[in-house]
Amino acid sequence: MILSGPFSTNRTKEYSVLTGNVLVQRKNDFKQSALIPHLEELGLAKNLSFVEEEKTATLVALEKEKIEVIKTAKEKKEITSTISSNNKPSVKTAPLKIDVPPVITPNITPAADVSKRKIETIQSVNFTSDSLELTLYDNGEVDGDTVSVVMNGNVIMPKVGLSTNAVRKKISTLNAGDSIQLIMYAETLGSLPPNTGLLIVYDGTERYEIRFSGDMQKSSAIVFRRKK
């Protein structure tokens, strides 16, 4: 900073008027100037403009430094908060477990209503062997017919699905007495009612073919009598 300007002195009895120019240039540290101590003695140092500017500059610098410190602290807090948020373990919600009760298929007893249905004897057969072999087929078109075979009140072939494939069963006649009743009990009627099928009976070398039918109201029966 440079201060310059003209000056003049007062005329006295001893000295005449002096005029000239004054040039004051600020040094790096104006306090080291030889002029400052004299101005301080006169109480004029505080009125110098560059002293005021230094104070103002110092205050501005301090205020700026304070703002920077506050800003840095705030940014540090935000970064810390972000890191803490990122380091926070994620909470996984366990899937809701819904207990679904198992589907229970009702256990329907074979030939459950055999006593309620009308029994129609369609054929009588004489036998001589100690055992009979029974073979079941669907009679005609396979449509999903299912039958149970009841021998003297006991189910011996439960829920047999009739098809073109033979289903065989050998039964003993030793303890059956002189008469055997076979009831063909319709469990289902298939897609083409009534329930129909073919029963082939082997008595030793003898062979018998018996066609039967039934529905939900009646059942076909075959009676076997021991030949003496």
**Secondary structure string (H, E, C) spanning 76-96:** HHHHHHHHHHHHCCCCCCCCC
How is residue 205 annotated by DSSP? T
pLDDT above 80: residue 221: yes
Torsion over CA of 11, 14, 20 and 21, rounded to 10 degrees?
-90
pLDDT digits (tens, 9 = 90+) for 119-130: 999 999 999 999
Would you say 133 and 201 are in contact if contact means Cβ atoms under 8 Å apart? yes
Out of 20-34, 96-110, 175-189, which region has the weakest mean confidence (pLDDT)? 20-34
- In the chain, the largest separation of any two C-alpha atoms, in whole Å, equals 187
Cite the DSSP H helix spans in 29-120.
35-42, 49-87
What pLDDT was estimated at residue 199?
Answer: 97
Portion of the chain with pLDDT greater than 70, in percent = 65
Q: What's the helix, strand, coil split of the chain in %, to 5?
A: 25, 40, 35
Q: Which two tokens stand for residue 122?
A: 């369609």
What pLDDT was estimated at residue 87?
Answer: 57
User: How many Cβ atoms from other residues are within 10 Å of residue 153's Cβ?
Assistant: 10
pLDDT digits (tens, 9 = 90+) for 70-112: 666 666 666 555 555 555 556 667 677 777 777 665 678 999 9
Q: For the chain, give every domain's residue range.
A: 2-82, 116-226
| Strand, helix or coil for residue 1 | coil
What pLDDT was estimated at residue 158?
Answer: 97
Place of tokens 């029963």: 199
User: Which pTM was predicted?
Assistant: 0.54
CA separation (Å) from 25 to 8, 28, 42, 156?
A: 20, 10, 20, 131
